[in-house]
Amino acid sequence: MTGICDNRVVIVTGAGRGLGREYALAFAAEGAKLVVNDIGTTLGGEGTDASPAQQVVEEIRAAGGEAIANGDDVADWDGAGRIVAAAIEAFGRLDVVVNNAGIVRDRMFVSATLEEWDATMRVHLRGHFCVTRHAVDHWRARQKAGETVDARIINTTSGAGLQGSIAQAAYSTAKGGIAALTLVQAAELGRYGITANALAPSARTRMTEQAFADKMATTEDGFDVQHPANIAATVVWLGSPDSAGVTGRVFELEGGRITIEDGWQLGATIDRGARWTPAEVGDAVRDLLSEQRPPRAVWGS
């Protein structure tokens, strides 16, 4: 297989189903060698099942590609190290990490539990940290040895993280944190030949079918806007050498639409050059808000 990622070595976490599966298959179709990581949990993060990852590996191999399965936990420090080590042992190096693994524990904030909060943060935030931190050690060592590194971090945020989502306080918080993490990684790691970007994909997955059933319904005719394979092309391009100049960006993707988020920008400002009194602040804030574009609505509101 040859393509825009010919001989690139790619880890995709949570690659047994949904978006991760489509990413892995699309990378392989463009010539990449894959580590298909998935522990095979339920949507809420319970249990394990090695078969989804292995099935994706078999699909890739049947099409003439190269792939191995891995069942380590992305949020376990040593397990994350084994994911990166598996890529190096099987293929000699690592070029791309796609942090896709995640869980969801939908709950209105007034009913949210500490266990659900911690579980969500662990998989999303700690999982993104652990795998990428081990990958960065590998890339820095190669760069220090005199090699030219052309590496990619591709993180997964969400519309929930960018604008909030009813009944998803923990998930939204974790995904917002991942968007901020991406900005810091891009700023810090460019000197080593590493780019970092994030995705906010909208597609039919186990998560979205449950939360947004009507929006995610299967289309009988024409272009299936919510098919997860629609997202894969941009992900593969971001993992390719052609994307070397693109870093610190958040891509919102749905169907055939590619949007680059504008991020937090300075808005309307009043500076009186002196200290405010509490009574004066209200009028100033109302004036500022009258000049601002209304924020995007929270999902589900």
Task: Check 158, 172, 202, 243 and give the catalytic one.
Answer: 158
Task: Check 23, 175, 202, 243 and give the catalytic one.
Answer: 175
CA angle 280/285/287 to nearest 5° reads: 100
Which strand (E) or helix (H) includes residue 86?
Answer: helix 77-91
Query: Hey, what are 173's tokens?
Result: 């918080």
Task: Check 33, 165, 171, 202 and give the catalytic one.
Answer: 171
Bridge partners of residue 9, in order along the sequence: 33
SS percent in the chain: helix, strand, coil, step 5: 45, 15, 40
Q: Is 23 a catalytic residue?
A: no
Q: Is 243 a catalytic residue?
A: no
Q: Is 171 a catalytic residue?
A: yes
Nearest Cα to 250, choosing from 196, 211, 298? 196
CA distance 183 to 254: 22
Query: Hey, what are 155's tokens?
Result: 């993180």
What is the amino acid identity at position 230? N
- Active site positions, annotated: 158, 171, 175
